[in-house]
A and B are shown apart, each in its own frame.
Chain A
Amino acid sequence: MHWARAFAESTIGKKIFMAASGVILVGFVLVHMTGNLLMFQGPAAINHYSAFLKSSAPLLWAVRITLLVSVAVHIGSAWSLTLVARAARPARYARHHAQVSTWGARSMRTGGVLLFGFIVFHLLHLTTGNVHPEFSPSDVYGNVVVGLRMPVVAAFYVVAMIALGLHLAHGVSSLFQTLGLNHPHWNPIRHRLAIVLAVLVFTGFSTIPLAVAFGVLR
């Protein structure tokens, strides 16, 4: 198995792990966002959907474990590659002008750390309820409305979704390149797909804290 080890230890291998886990996480984000929008159909719709997701414990845990492993692989590769990159340039330039770097590319690392913090908070807030004022396991609708009523919490959710949008704007087009799919026919499409997904995901998720903040959902 030394080939597998050599692959996993190479910088390209780590990038491929990051891209592959990213694909799984993007898939989750899209499903999660679509499910969340049931909030606008009223308490019955979202609570029924939640009960449906939890109806099979083995399936639920299979999905949860897949996601946890993906997050671990994604962060582990990012962490390792960041250390390699830091070590690769010990002395900084007195003057350095980046020419083509996008906000998405620049914010991958800090935005990624912010997103990790958000995920931990979000799980404690609306999955386990540890940091929620009045958590009820069966009433998702009530949990969301009560949980996002504090402006600071709602603002944190929106800021985290800006970070997620930027992360996807770079990550979704970047993953094709990392997986070796670079072709002049498809490059404009993958760049556009990344922007469309970034805007879609940001908008889809942010409407909920904003709707609670402005009293549309109550």
Chain B
Amino acid sequence: MRITLRVWRQLGPTDPGRLETRDVPDVSPDMSFLEMLDVVNEGLIAAGETPIAFDHDCREGICGACSMMINGVPHGPNRATTTCQLHMRTFRDGDTIVVEPWRAKAFPVVRDLVVDRSALDRIISAGGFIGVSTGSAADANATPIPKTVADRAMDSAQCIGCGACVAACPNASAMLFTAAKVVHLGLLPQGQPERYRRVLSMVRQMDLEEFGGCTNFGECQDACPKEINVAVIGRMNADFLKASLSNRDEAA
């Protein structure tokens, strides 16, 4: 396969950046998108040029590192697929593929396709945890949890924090990410002690990071490689409303 790559090149956070056009003549349809970029980079290194910087780690669709906008869609055209699991056979011989970094104020570009997604980590730090007793681990079956609840919590827990929801959202909102975390812990008995404090502090942090608000377009759900449903946002809204009206501050 031969493709034309139009890829975002940006030296650093202050560089304005530009789309660079590259002819890639030797693409195997069995390559993953990242392997195609590896081949391009080997060519660049051999020619003494700077390789294209991109994030990647596990390359098996579970870490959320490989985040890029491919032809205007986060992680490319396939449903429930991360960039590393996207194969070049998805495209046609002669295609032009535009590759850009996530675009959000909260995700500043570090270099080329690499953005700084620490904002998501700070949302987790604000409340995406539970308190546990120290000592030996409790018996996993000690607390009964209805299967439907466990399944819904697991569906939310699938979030890999890639940021595709933010990238796809017309408002660059992180509501799907934050809601997935809030709902995953808030559904389970182990998450109840911090439930209402959690939603207040995670939403506060989300707003502080200057993500946009939710306008229920549903683009995030469609872009999510883990198919997290916008129902989690509805549940977070309900928890946030209840927490705002009734949460008590701790006594000083």
Contacts and interface: CB of A to CB of B under 8 A. Distances in A.
B202 to A, nearest CB: 11
B143 interface: no
A85 B213 CA distance: 6
Interface residues of A, number: 46
Interface string A147-170: 000000000000000000000001
B204 to A, nearest CB: 7
B216 A81 contact: no
B contact patch SS: mixed
A12 B237 contact: yes
A97 B72 contact: yes
Contact of B235 (A87, A97, A180, A187): A180
Contacts of B204: 6, 10
Contacts of B210: 84, 87-88
Interface of B: 6, 8, 19, 69, 71-73, 98, 100, 103-106, 168, 170-173, 200, 203-204, 206-207, 210-219, 221-223, 230-231, 233-241, 244-245, 247
23 contacts: A6-B200, A6-B244, A7-B244, A7-B245, A10-B207, A16-B241, A84-B171, A85-B172, A85-B212, A88-B106, A93-B72, A94-B100, A97-B72, A99-B73, A101-B219, A173-B216, A177-B230, A178-B216, A179-B237, A180-B234, A180-B239, A182-B233, A182-B235
Interface of A: 3-4, 6-7, 9-16, 81, 84-85, 87-102, 105, 108, 170, 173-174, 176-184, 187
Given A93-B103, A95-B72, A99-B222, 8 more contacts: A11-B213, A87-B212, A88-B172, A95-B71, A100-B217, A101-B217, A177-B216, A177-B234
